[in-house]
Homo-oligomer: A and B are copies of this chain.
Amino acid sequence: MKNNLSIRDIAKLSGVSVSTVSRVLNNNGRYSEATKEKILKIAKENGYRPNSLARNLRKQASTFIGIIVPDISNEFFAKIVKDCEQLLFSIGYLAIVCNTERNPELEKRYIEKLSNHMVAGFIIISTNATTIRNLNLTLPIVYIDRTPNLGENSISVSSDNYLGGKIATKYLIRSNADPYMFITKTIKQSTTEDRISGFKDVLIKENIEGNRIFSLNTTSDCVFSDLREIRKYLDTLIEKRKKIGIFAINDKVAAAILKVAMSKKIKIPEELSIVGFDDISISKTAAMPITTISQNTSSISSQAVNALFECLNKNIQISRKIVIPIELIKRATA
């Protein structure tokens, strides 16, 4: 195995000391051009690879970043993880990805394990904040999507969910639709709460009354497995013989509503307008392109990585709340 060569072997082979080899390999100066050439040549010939573990140990540093995420098979999360990973790699870090399934116990175990001097910092996507607090970590952490209500120093990056909720609702009202919102069963999340707040605040401002939020007894990931509930609610709404406007908590729910509506031959957007949230691919692949509030995932990722990078370099824990603008994407459903 040529791979097992150490810096000492290279030193021996080149007839110099290990420190010289190290200096050459790290471009630390204080060596002659001739030795440099020689060492580099020998290192290359032998396929020398520096042992990053040893280097990290010596430098008391790590080139790993832990990315904690509920589930990368969720497209929205996958995009963010992917972007973060690629940005991290471009600045010399590697991403250790951990799927927690929103299981707080598992999440805790991941974070503990990664804290064992393995990672330089964390990017934590959509977490339950409470589990983190107990670990009294000193590593920099950037939270994405869900903002934990920690008083401590922390960085959070998320879309302007509140404004998104408002814009979607206003748009529905402006197109003369009677606004309703469809949400799913979900653990209390700041993002969802914010979208709902946006919706409610517009209703108040416009003096629209009544309970206009329909809560589906399913999660967003399973919304397609049983459409009967949506069908029932839609029947209720259609009876009113007014143009209906539905703000769906996310694109999956919007797509499910669209599917039911089309099977009922409801005219979209004439009789029913739908606005989703997230702008994931389903809003393009659905039978009709779905109007939605787009989250700028690449901006989220780059802001998160930048903030983390800043912490890492300055070696301080900064406190910052970064809000990423959202955008209404007008397509066919509203």
Question: Interface of A with B (CB < 8 Å)?
Answer: 1-3, 47, 49-54, 56-57, 62, 64, 71-73, 75, 78-79, 81-82, 85-86, 89, 94-99, 110, 112-118, 136-138, 224-225, 252, 255-256, 259, 262, 281-282, 284-287
Known: A72-B78, A81-B72, A224-B285. A53 touches B49 (CB 8 A): no
**What are the 5 tightest A-B residue pairs by CB atom distance, in nearest-first order?**
A287-B287, A51-B117, A97-B97, A73-B78, A49-B116
Known: A2-B136, A117-B49, A287-B287. A96 touches B64 (CB 8 A): yes
Partner of A53, one of B57, B85, B282: B57
**A110 contact set on B, CB distance < 8 A:** 89
* Closest B residue to A49 using CB positions: B116
Q: How far is the CA of A124 from the CA of B3 in the complex (A)?
A: 20
Could you tell me the distance in whole angstroms from the C-beta of A79 to the nearest C-beta in chain B? 5
Could you tell me the distance in whole angstroms from the C-beta of A115 to the nearest C-beta in chain B? 6
* Closest B residue to A6 using CB positions: B117
Partner of A255, one of B2, B64, B285: B285
Could you tell me the distance in whole angstroms from the C-beta of A40 to the nearest C-beta in chain B? 16
Q: How far is the CA of A282 from the CA of B255 in the complex (A)?
A: 11
Partner of A285, one of B51, B136, B282: B282
Could you tell me the distance in whole angstroms from the C-beta of A230 to the nearest C-beta in chain B? 13
Partner of A118, one of B47, B78, B94: B94
**A255 contact set on B, CB distance < 8 A:** 285
10 A-B pairs whose Cβ atoms sit less than 8 Å apart in the complex: A2-B136, A3-B138, A47-B136, A52-B116, A53-B62, A73-B79, A75-B75, A81-B97, A224-B285, A282-B285
**A50 contact set on B, CB distance < 8 A:** 116
* Closest B residue to A69 using CB positions: B82
Decide if A96 touches B96 in the complex (CB within 8 Å): yes
* Closest B residue to A80 using CB positions: B73
Decide if B64 touches A86 in the complex (CB within 8 Å): no
Decide if B137 touches A114 in the complex (CB within 8 Å): no
Q: How far is the CA of A53 from the CA of B57 in the complex (A)?
A: 6
Decide if A98 touches B85 in the complex (CB within 8 Å): yes
* Closest B residue to A110 using CB positions: B89
* Closest B residue to A259 using CB positions: B287
A94-B113, A286-B287 are known contacts; what are 16 more A-B pairs with Cβ within 8 Å? A3-B138, A47-B136, A49-B115, A52-B113, A52-B117, A72-B81, A73-B78, A73-B82, A81-B97, A89-B110, A97-B97, A224-B285, A225-B284, A259-B285, A262-B287, A282-B285
Q: How far is the CA of A64 from the CA of B53 in the complex (A)?
A: 11
Could you tell me the distance in whole angstroms from the C-beta of A130 to the nearest C-beta in chain B? 18
* Closest B residue to A66 using CB positions: B94
Decide if A114 touches B85 in the complex (CB within 8 Å): no
Decide if A138 touches B1 in the complex (CB within 8 Å): yes
Q: How far is the CA of A256 from the CA of B284 in the complex (A)?
A: 10
Residue among A2, A75, A82 having the largest count of chain B Cβ atoms under 10 Å? A82
Partner of A56, one of B53, B86, B137, B225: B53
Decide if B99 touches A85 in the complex (CB within 8 Å): yes
